[in-house]
Amino acid sequence: MSPPPIEPAVLVVIIGETVLQSRIINLLQHLGVTGYTLSQAQGAGRHGSRRGDMVSYNTNIEIKTVVSLKVSEAIFSGLVEYQSNHALIAFRQNVEALTGFEVV
């Protein structure tokens, strides 16, 4: 059995206030990102606790996407403007992805 075809990619994880959801998704789409995973998130950090105990209030989202290094840099640049007024963190790590889908 031959090894599966893989290629290098970057996993970007963005955790931020739910109010940023449409803006972050628009940024990803503008950069040509073809897929992402969106989840509700709870936790605590510099901006306090985010329990999501009230609908659309005090709630966070987590968005994950697999992209190229160049696109990950553009995502980070596009997120900077939101950090001064919103709870937001983003990080990335190098990953290996199965080929067969487009890494933009």
Predicted confidence (pLDDT) per residue in 40-64, tens digit? 988 776 655 555 555 555 689 999 9
Task: Please check whether residue 72 is in contact with residue 79, taking contact to mean a CB–CB distance below 8 angstroms.
Answer: no
pTM of the shown model = 0.84
| Rounded to 5°, angle at Cα 47 from 15 and 66 | 10
Between CA 68 and CA 48 the distance in angstroms is 32
